[in-house]
Amino acid sequence: MSDAWEAVEKAGTQTLEALFQAEPDRLSRLTLDENGIRFDFSKTHLTGELVSAFSALAEAQGLAAARDALFSGQIVNVTEGRAAEHTAERGQGAPESVQRAQGFHTRMRALIDAIEAGAFGEIRHVLHVGIGGSALGPDFVIDALGRDEDRYDTAVVSNVDGAALEEAIARFDPKTTLLVIASKTFTTSETMLNAQSALLWMEEGGVADPYGRIVALTASPEKAVEFGVDETRILPFSESVGGRYSLWSSIGFPIALALGWEAFENLLEGAAAMDRHFRLAPPERNAPVLAAFADRYYANVRGAQTRAVFAYDERLRLLPSYLQQLEMESNGKSVTVDGQPVGRATSQITWGGVGTDAQHAVFQLLHQGTHLAPVEFVAAVEPEHGLAFDHHRQLLINCFAQGAALMAGKQSDDPARSYSGDRPSTTILLDRIDPATLGALIAFYEHRTFVNGVLLGINPFDQFGVELGKEIAKSIDAGGLQFDPSTEALIARAFGDAE
């Protein structure tokens, strides 16, 4: 394994401009068109030699076997003793898992049909409470695809800050609201508190049976029953679907409700098409694999600590937040699957924003700062709006100009006006933002995250790092325990000495 890493570290590269000169086929080799998406890795420092060295590393790390294990429902999440079966939700997995997922989808569809047939009376608003993977996926997809839909007005509320819930319900009528409680474990404190407050709001708003208006999305149906949800309104999903990989499961209920069943099916089918590409394409023509090679090159060979993602499309504005959980919760680890120190940098810090806004805020650092921060541009050829002027053309021009400028740089006699150039970027250009293409894009990111985990030898499917803070919050809430002087002083200042 370390020999393979050594080969990666030793593989030569040149400046991006020199690479374009030296490799006439560079653009075609490092550009892929898959499922309505152009992936352009040519403005990264990946060379033929680097791709070969990374392919050897992938082989040494058992990527093919790990991928087979993932798709066949074997236990890949070893620390929790579970499979990771999100692909089964889109029909790509062990036959029994696919069948099980289809059963859950059938149940979800039947409930949606019942809602549409008026089983809950008139429903105009959907209040979805959930956090992390039980919120970010649905929020991102509905925000991206739901702008033209007037099926239901949907709000996704995650934060325990009551201001978030208050803002969402301010525009809702409790009598026409469906309360969706999304929690894999059905124990997450923020979600449970938001659910309680929403129920009280419904009760105070004159809803005779607020509990009768709940739909629960969970892998712990018994907990939802304990909470008071009728069994017929619980949409279960499998324990082996990880929270941040769960939008394809019953957690996608608000997506299917807001966009319609056909759109949800197309989302799944787009993801399945990317699954097939990931399974079948050789490493040098495999989009998630090449992306992960570039990720590891910058993080482990060039020492980049971050990776910046800019959505050049308002519809994708929630993409950076979605990716932050996917990438950092998956690969922000320090030990390998065997519990040994990884010995090299793991997940980059994913951050980003929306173009062109970000150009007028953070791009200064990207063009002239001292950090190496590989940039990812994500855009779509087809616009959403119907304005007469050429907004979309200007948006795309700006996107392409930034990538070109990062690479080319510009020398000046005045150092303050010089741009070093040779700054890497990847461009992901969607033909259009529709359910199938978005499904493929999200699956691409899932698999890229998985490949990064395999190359590092870590388990991308657990998240023990989030537990300690939760435990301490509970102890503070319970009172009686002593903490460090700073924390004690903050508690006293906020709640009074009585705490």
23-62 per-residue burial string, b: 16 or more CB within 10 A, e: under 16: beebeebbebebbbbbbbbbbbbbbeebbebbbbbbeebe
CB 242 within 8 A of CB 133: yes
Taking CB under 6 A as the criterion, the residue among 129, 131, 156, 436 binding ligand F6P is 131
Decide whether 194 or 359 has the Cβ nearer to ligand F6P.
Answer: 194
Give the 3-state DSSP-derived string for 279-325, with helices as H, strands as E and coil as C.
HHCCHHHCHHHHHHHHHHHHHHHCCCCEEEEEEECHHHCCHHHHHHH
**Residue 82 makes contact with ligand F6P by CB under 6 A:** no
User: Nearest approach, Cβ of 345 to ligand F6P (angstroms)?
Assistant: 22
User: Nearest approach, Cβ of 221 to ligand F6P (angstroms)?
Assistant: 13
**Residue 191 makes contact with ligand F6P by CB under 6 A:** yes
Beta-strand pair 214-218/306-312: unpaired
Task: Please identify which of the residues 371, 391, 410, 470 carries the catalytic annotation.
Answer: 470
**Residue 439 makes contact with ligand F6P by CB under 6 A:** no
CB 346 within 8 A of CB 327: no
Beta-strand pair 234-236/306-312: unpaired
The yes-or-no answer on residue 488 being catalytic is no
Residues in contact with ligand F6P, shown as a per-residue x/- string from 310 to 329 under the rule CB under 6 A? -------------------x
Decide whether 266 or 459 has the Cβ nearer to ligand F6P.
Answer: 459
Beta strand segments in 176-233, E = 177-182, 214-218
Interatomic CA distance for residues 271 and 98, integer angstroms = 14
Decide whether 99 or 187 has the Cβ nearer to ligand F6P.
Answer: 187
User: Nearest approach, Cβ of 265 to ligand F6P (angstroms)?
Assistant: 23
**Residue 459 makes contact with ligand F6P by CB under 6 A:** no
Decide whether 92 or 183 has the Cβ nearer to ligand F6P.
Answer: 183
**Residue 466 makes contact with ligand F6P by CB under 6 A:** yes
Decide whether 99 or 185 has the Cβ nearer to ligand F6P.
Answer: 185
Taking CB under 6 A as the criterion, the residue among 185, 189, 364, 418 binding ligand F6P is 185
**Residue 26 makes contact with ligand F6P by CB under 6 A:** no
Decide whether 61 or 218 has the Cβ nearer to ligand F6P.
Answer: 218
428-445 per-residue burial string, b: 16 or more CB within 10 A, e: under 16: bbbeebbbbbbbbbbbbb
3-state secondary structure of 463: coil
User: Nearest approach, Cβ of 80 to ligand F6P (angstroms)?
Assistant: 11
**Residue 134 makes contact with ligand F6P by CB under 6 A:** yes
Task: Please identify which of the residues 360, 385, 467, 471 carries the catalytic annotation.
Answer: 360
The yes-or-no answer on residue 392 being catalytic is no
Taking CB under 6 A as the criterion, the residue among 26, 29, 82, 244 binding ligand F6P is 244
**Residue 241 makes contact with ligand F6P by CB under 6 A:** no
Stretch that binds ligand F6P, among 55-63, 109-117, 125-133, 385-393 (CB under 6 A): 125-133
CB 407 within 8 A of CB 18: no
Taking CB under 6 A as the criterion, the residue among 92, 240, 330, 463 binding ligand F6P is 463
Beta strand segments in 164-256, E = 177-182, 214-218, 234-236
377: β partners: 310, 427
Give CA 344 to chain center in angstroms: 23
Interatomic CA distance for residues 275 and 88, integer angstroms = 10
**Residue 84 makes contact with ligand F6P by CB under 6 A:** no
End-to-end CA distance of the chain: 53
Decide whether 217 or 290 has the Cβ nearer to ligand F6P.
Answer: 217
Which residues lie closer than 8 Å to 175 by C-beta, 6 or more apart?
121, 122, 205, 206, 207
**Residue 250 makes contact with ligand F6P by CB under 6 A:** no
Count of residues engaged in binding ligand F6P, rule: CB under 6 A: 14
CB atoms closer than 10 angstroms to residue 466: 10
Beta-strand pair 177-182/125-129: parallel
Interatomic CA distance for residues 423 and 374, integer angstroms = 7
**Residue 132 makes contact with ligand F6P by CB under 6 A:** yes
Dihedral sign (CA 4, 9, 14, 20): positive
User: Nearest approach, Cβ of 289 to ligand F6P (angstroms)?
Assistant: 25
User: Nearest approach, Cβ of 303 to ligand F6P (angstroms)?
Assistant: 28
User: Nearest approach, Cβ of 104 to ligand F6P (angstroms)?
Assistant: 16
Tokens describing residue 380: 């779509």
The yes-or-no answer on residue 371 being catalytic is no
> Residue 265 carries which side chain, given as an amino acid letter?
E
**Residue 196 makes contact with ligand F6P by CB under 6 A:** no
**Residue 308 makes contact with ligand F6P by CB under 6 A:** no
Stretch that binds ligand F6P, among 68-76, 83-91, 181-189, 295-303 (CB under 6 A): 181-189
Task: Please identify which of the residues 85, 190, 329, 446 carries the catalytic annotation.
Answer: 329
Interatomic CA distance for residues 287 and 280, integer angstroms = 11
Taking CB under 6 A as the criterion, the residue among 177, 188, 238, 449 binding ligand F6P is 188
Decide whether 112 or 326 has the Cβ nearer to ligand F6P.
Answer: 326
Kindly list the catalytic residues. Answer: 329, 360, 470
Residues that bind ligand F6P (CB under 6 A): 131-134, 183-185, 188, 191, 243-244, 329, 463, 466
